[in-house]
Amino acid sequence: MENELGWTGWNDITPETEAFWREALSPGRRKVAWTSRRSTVEYAGFLEWLWRMEDAPCDVVDLSEVKVPRNSGQDPTPPSTLAISLGIIPTDIIGQDKLWSLAEPLQAAARLRYRDLWQQLRSENAPLRVIEGTELVSAPISYFDTRLMSCATNDWQKVARIVGEILAAEMDDEVLQVGDLVLAARIDALVESGCLEIQGKSALDMRDSQVRLPGAK
């Protein structure tokens, strides 16, 4: 069921999640995981999948340091950039560069390192995981608040613009730390705490809501 902003509820997401894990862990098939240590979602998702896989064999395509063309087309020598995330690589470039050929069996030592890291992060049970340097670490839910506040001004700005600025800065840093909905939800929290003012029902309605610093005229 959708709420008034059009977002799907957890009751609809849970069955899809359970179906995903059944398929991802199903026995009798070669398992190839694509991941990037530059994307918190992909890295954390990979670690959880590997945790659930226990000792079953698998191959890994690690895109963390892989470079791909900035764009596809007829240019024989297009400029290249770090892949950063599988989710942002155009499908034609995946095929053109045969990125699946990068799959390598996960070695026992690497598996142990990944499992130790995930065991630590699971035990910390923090609201967020973020990349600091080359490490995935736990972080408080307020981790991005300072950045959000630095983008706010005395003038009304669309939430989509503020969220977009932070996501663009992450791309410049060659990492993907957080999704737009998390940032929008934190803007709502900052509004509730009095740090920001809002026009609109919720910052989750990013295109139609605006925020500014309080007290501005």
pLDDT per position in the chain (217 positions), as tens?
455 555 555 567 778 888 999 999 998 889 999 999 999 999 999 999 999 999 999 999 999 999 998 765 555 566 788 999 999 898 999 998 999 999 999 999 999 999 999 999 999 999 999 999 889 999 999 999 999 999 999 999 999 999 999 999 988 889 999 999 999 999 999 999 999 999 999 999 999 999 999 986 6
Domain presence at residue 40: yes
Strands 128-132 and 135-139: antiparallel
| Residue range(s) defining the domain that contains residue 103 | 10-132
At 1 the pLDDT is 42
At 8 the pLDDT is 52
At 16 the pLDDT is 84
At 11 the pLDDT is 67
At 126 the pLDDT is 96
At 69 the pLDDT is 87
Q: Which of 132, 160, 186 is the endpoint of a domain? A: 132
Domain presence at residue 114: yes
For residue 160, give the CATH number of its domain: 1.10.10
**Angular region, 22: left φ>0, alpha ψ -120 to 50, beta rest:** alpha
Q: Which of 91, 110, 132 is the endpoint of a domain? A: 132
Same domain, 82 and 128: yes
At 5 the pLDDT is 54
At 145 the pLDDT is 97
At 217 the pLDDT is 66
